[in-house]
């Protein structure tokens, strides 16, 4: 079921196209992330969904209602901004009540006699709603504090709480963690994912940080230059990027890309080394071969199919060790992920021999599109040749 559909959305600012024919279906209850480098159009797409910006062409459908022309306030979406936008002079409880009070005001004003009675009942309901929401967010002990007395993470949750009491169709968040320090940012990832699981409301989340997208999303839409290049689960996008730009953007350290050629037998080769096979007739000639750092393994001695590079930098992360290698051609660098335990003895300047240990290398054609693998059964594809 689609909660939200964005159909053929185009947007230009003056002469400059910022979104090019974007189609996006957001499922009810999912955590969907728009991720891509700065300037690719994420915020613009989110603002068009929110109703803060009009598309140059295309339509936005929420539920079964086309909302083009419907004001932001009437779309029942909750936008959580990067700056928390809490009123500094009000307590957290008062902050959380404000959106509901504003909504009710016009109603009670129209009923002057019943007004006070309704108001008392409303007040009790409001209080209950705020307390319930605060419990979900684990800020029930902070309701009487002012925003200035809260930590960054607590303020974040209070701002979310204020959006939540309205029970919106979806939460829209634009880089909500970017003001936080690194440790809190990582902590908030799991908080937000957990919150999403308990609320089961649709989240549309914008970030330039691929790690946030990978760790929190049900699905992620990778955007570049005003286009969605790929939409899928984090596993799918990471393991099966359909475009070389997606492969490079997702994953840290970055995927290794080597120049290669497809020979007549359909093997994608880098020099002497056959790294993958593509469907017969898929391509011949120049390709780029992608190997993730964790798909490589250091070996003790040279063997057929092995590659060698000189260690120029080692990144020791405690348990993991990333070896940065300068390849013999003098042009390419590769990163191999290994462990401190098994490879800790390797020093800068050493020659390191490594092989592809599992999975197929990814092969991209000259246009950057992924070439499909051979239909041949897995066992007939040589690991190395
Ligand atoms: N109001 C505006 N007027 C003119 N150009 C804009 C406006 N808003 C955004 N842009 C441009 O549109 C492009 C996409 O911006 P944006 O959606 O904010 O990207 P992102 O959120 O992915 O960083 C950028 O090149 C930006 O400079
Ligand atoms: Mg932005």
Query: Which residue from 15, 33, 38, 41 has its CB within 8 A of the most atoms of ligand 1, so it is best to mutate?
Result: 41
Question: Which protein residue's CA is at the shortest distance from atom 10 of ligand 1?
Answer: 13
Domains held by the chain: number:
2
Q: Which atom from ligand 1 is nearest to the alpha carbon of 174?
A: 21
278 falls within a domain: yes
50 CA from centroid of ligand 2 (Å) = 14
Q: In this structure, is the dihedral angle defined by the CA atoms of residues 294, 255, 237 and 382, taken in order, positive or negative?
A: negative
Query: Which residue is closest in CA terms to ligand 1's atom 20?
Result: 39
Ligand located closest to 221 CA:
1
Instruction: Name the pLDDT band for 143 (thresholds 50, 70, 90).
Output: very high
Indicate which atom in ligand 1 lies nearest the CA of residue 45: 17
54 and 203 in a single domain? The answer is yes
Please tell me whether residue 171 adopts helix, strand or coil conformation: strand
Dihedral angle sign, alpha carbons of residues 158, 159, 165, 170 = negative
The ligand placed nearest to the CA atom of residue 173 is 2
* Residue nearest atom 21 in ligand 1 by C-alpha distance: 43
* pLDDT digit string, tens, across residues 188-204: 898 889 889 988 899 99
Domain of residue 340, CATH code: 2.40.50.140
To which H or E segment does residue 58 belong?
A: strand 57-62
Q: Which of the listed residues 186, 204, 239 is the one where a domain comes to its end?
A: 239
Distance (Å) from CA 198 to ligand 1 centroid? 33
Give the angle subtended at the CA of 214 by the CAs of 182 and 55, to the nearest 5°: 100
CA of 231 to the centre of ligand 1 (A): 21
- For ligand 2, the distance from its centroid to the CA atom of residue 39, given in whole angstroms, is 7
41 CA closest ligand 1 atom index = 17
19-23, 62-66, 283-287, 291-295: range with lowest mean pLDDT: 283-287
Q: Does any domain span residue 245? A: no
| Residues 204 and 60 both lie in one domain | yes
State which ligand 1 atom lies nearest to the alpha carbon of 44: 17
E strands in 185-226? 202-207, 219-224
Residue 249 has pLDDT above 90, yes or no: yes
Last residue of a domain, one of 239, 274, 293: 239
Are 92 and 161 in contact by the 8 Å Cβ rule? The answer is: yes
Tens digit of each residue's pLDDT (9 = 90 or more) over 321-378: 999 999 988 889 999 999 999 999 999 999 999 998 877 789 999 899 998 765 443 3
If you average pLDDT over every residue of the chain, what do you get? 88
Calculate how far, in angstroms, residue 46's C-alpha sits from the geometric centre of ligand 2. Answer: 9
Nearest alpha carbon, ligand 1 atom 16? 41
Task: Say which DSSP state 343 is in.
Answer: H
Q: Are residues 204 and 271 in the same domain?
A: no
79: CATH: 3.40.50.300
Q: Can you give the pLDDT at residue 90?
A: 94
Residue 71 CA, ligand 1 centroid: distance in Å: 21
178 and 312 assigned to the same domain? no
Return the pLDDT at 81. Answer: 66
Q: Which ligand is nearest to the CA of 22?
A: 1
Residues within 6 Å of ligand 1 by CB: 13, 18, 36, 38-44
How many other CB atoms sit within 10 Å of the CB of residue 70? 14
Atom number of ligand 1 nearest to Cα 175: 21
What does the angle CA 186 – CA 189 – CA 192 come to, to the nearest 5 degrees? 150
Residues 373 and 287 in one domain: yes
| Model pLDDT for residues 75-132, shown as the tens digit of each residue | 999 987 655 678 999 999 999 988 777 665 444 445 556 666 667 777 888 888 899 8
The answer, yes or no, to whether the previous bond of 50 is cis (omega within 30 of 0) is no
Ligand lying nearest the CA atom of residue 17? 1
End-of-domain residue from the set 211, 239, 267? 239
Domain annotation covers residue 249:
no
Q: Smallest Cα–Cα separation from 363: which of 280, 295, 275, 293?
A: 275
The reply to whether 82 and 184 lie within a common domain is: yes
Residue 385 lies in a domain: no
Cα–Cα nearest to 294, from 354, 220, 208: 354
Tens of pLDDT, residues 256-292: 999 999 888 788 888 777 777 776 555 667 899 999 9
Domain range for 296 is: 254-380
Judge if 145 and 215 occupy the same domain: yes
Query: Which residue shows structure tokens 């891509």?
Result: 36
Across 317-364, the runs of DSSP E, i.e. the strands, are 320-327, 333-339, 351-356, 362-364
Contact 147, 116 (CB under 8 A): no
Q: What distance in angstroms lies between residue 40's CA and the mean position of ligand 1's atoms?
A: 8
Whether 124 is covered by a domain: the verdict is yes
Closest residue CA from atom 7 of ligand 1: 13
Task: Identify whether 108 is part of a domain.
Answer: yes
Sequential DSSP letters for 260-272: EEE-TTSEEEETT
Which helix (H) or strand (E) is 289 found in, with range? strand 285-291
Distance 37 CA to ligand 2 centre (A): 9
Quote the ligand 1 centre to 74 CA distance (angstroms): 24
Please identify, by atom number, the ligand 1 atom nearest to the C-alpha of residue 42.
22
Of 265 and 182, the structure prediction assigns the larger pLDDT to: 182
Q: How far apart are CA 60 and CA 75, in angstroms?
A: 11
Examine the pLDDT at 134 and tell me if it is beyond 50: yes
Q: Are residues 292 and 170 in the same domain?
A: no
Tell me if 163 is assigned to some domain: yes
| 332 lies in the same domain as 273 | yes
Same domain, 183 and 300: no
Q: Are residues 167 and 273 in the same domain?
A: no
Structure tokens at 58: 């295309």
CA 277/CA 49 separation, integer angstroms:
42
- Residue at 244 is within a domain: no
Shared domain for 78 and 157, answered yes or no, is: yes
């Amino acid at each position: 079921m689609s909660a939200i559909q964005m159909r053929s959305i185009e947007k230009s600012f003056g002469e400059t196209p910022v979104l090019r024919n974007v189609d996006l279906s957001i499922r009810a209850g999912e955590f969907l992330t728009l991720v891509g480098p700065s300037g690719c159009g994420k915020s613009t797409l989110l603002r068009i969904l929110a109703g803060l910006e009009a598309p140059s062409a295309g339509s936005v459908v929420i539920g079964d209602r086309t909302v083009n022309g419907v004001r932001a306030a009437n779309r029942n979406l909750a936008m959580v901004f990067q700056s928390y936008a809490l009123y500094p002079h009000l307590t957290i409880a008062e902050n959380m009540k404000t959106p509901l009070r504003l909504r009710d005001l016009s109603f009670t004003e129209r009923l002057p006699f019943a007004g006070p009675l309704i108001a008392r009942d409303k007040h009790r309901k409001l209080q209950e709603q705020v307390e319930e929401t605060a419990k979900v967010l684990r800020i029930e002990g902070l309701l009487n504090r002012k925003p200035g007395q809260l930590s960054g993470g607590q303020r974040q949750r209070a701002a979310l709480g204020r959006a939540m009491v309205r029970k919106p169709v979806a939460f829209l968040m634009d880089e909500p963690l970017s003001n936080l320090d690194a440790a809190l940012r990582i902590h908030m990832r799991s908080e937000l994912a957990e919150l999403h699981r308990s609320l089961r409301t649709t989240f549309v989340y914008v970030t330039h940080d691929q790690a946030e997208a990978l760790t929190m999303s049900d699905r992620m839409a990778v955007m570049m230059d005003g286009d969605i290049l790929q939409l899928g689960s984090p596993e799918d996008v990471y393991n099966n990027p359909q475009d070389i730009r997606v492969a490079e953007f997702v994953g840290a350290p970055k995927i290794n890309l080597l120049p290669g050629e497809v020979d007549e037998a359909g093997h994608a080769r880098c020099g002497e080394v056959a790294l993958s096979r593509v469907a017969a007739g898929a391509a011949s000639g120049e390709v780029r071969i992608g190997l993730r750092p964790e798909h490589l393994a250091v070996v003790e001695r040279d063997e057929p199919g092995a590659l060698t590079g000189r260690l120029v930098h080692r990144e020791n992360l405690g348990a993991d060790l990333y070896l940065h290698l300068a390849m013999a051609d003098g042009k390419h660098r590769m990163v191999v992920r290994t462990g401190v335990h098994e490879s800790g003895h390797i020093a800068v300047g050493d020659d390191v021999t490594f092989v592809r240990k599992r999975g197929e290398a990814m092969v991209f054609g000259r246009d950057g599109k992924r070439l499909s693998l051979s239909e041949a059964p897995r066992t007939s594809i040589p690991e190395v040749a």
